[in-house]
Structure 1
């Protein structure tokens, strides 16, 4: 018998709806980025809006190991309701980039255990898990920098970012940029590290978008701050 939530919606019903929305063309595009699902994100958000917050259903959807279901789970969950160990398991299960990104940004950043997780994940030998830790560090760099050793973070970035695996490199690069943008006293060194390492210098950037190459990113965002 299908497991039923308080609103009467079963996991089987949600999975059937997601299956109907699966578009082979969207799946093909998503798979190029490592995301194995074909559900339009706008339609996924519409389902989430209808279901509203349902922590039990979110946990059940996550347990299906289906990428679209996990994305929906992250939209209808209660971020503060997850235990530290539960999120640690989830981040190791979240191999699809979009699921990983949403888990970090929509849930881990809002969870009361975020600082403990930041410290543990940043030092993890798994580069995907470590990238989650660096994403949480970037959040602190911009919003709660008190107590952070920014010079020490720059030391690590300078020593390790060049040869880091893609997703960890991307997260370290974001941290480098955010230090340069938000902390003028470290800006010159952040720019220098970015220029010498050259990480993402040639990354293709769409018209109107800011390059992820740290020196360009820092310079552009600082310019916008001055133009306000």
Structure 2
């Protein structure tokens, strides 16, 4: 199946105005050939598409599920002190936009998530994916805080799981104690066909159980 994926890389993709598409092997190198070959073709294309430095890919969607435990809601509010990397609202049926911008300086990607609210201003979450750290992939949320990620394929779903949280001081990465972290964070990307995919985020604490769950369905914006 891996060879089938390679031959499909010349298939037509959605057009992007003023955007140069490049072959991206950064995610692929974090998986075995067998796992990469089990991904649906549409998922393979999304994570093989690299734009030129400073260019962006935009995904538009709708939040269809969100829930918090009492502890999870308070943890999300406290996390605003380091930039608010977790969802804070309970609204469903609201638009969500994700912009992925290539960052040539770091060799990674800057992610911006804009989630509307039924009242008030939308929540904006910034983070950066860097192909570095102990697992080869990490998410930096600001204020020196980063999270190592392990990537896997589970039932044709691309899964990102936290593998430790740390405080970055220059080139030094200091592991944070579990008491200062929300627990295990899992993000999934599941292809739904016809250009749609589902994103889920789950935060599970080893002692307090499920803290946060969010699900949204997206499509790539075509200009």
Q: Larger strand proportion, structure 1 or 2? A: 2
- Give the alignment's TM-score, normalised by structure 2: 0.25
Q: Larger helix proportion, structure 1 or 2? A: 1
Structure (1 or 2) with the larger CA radius of gyration = 1
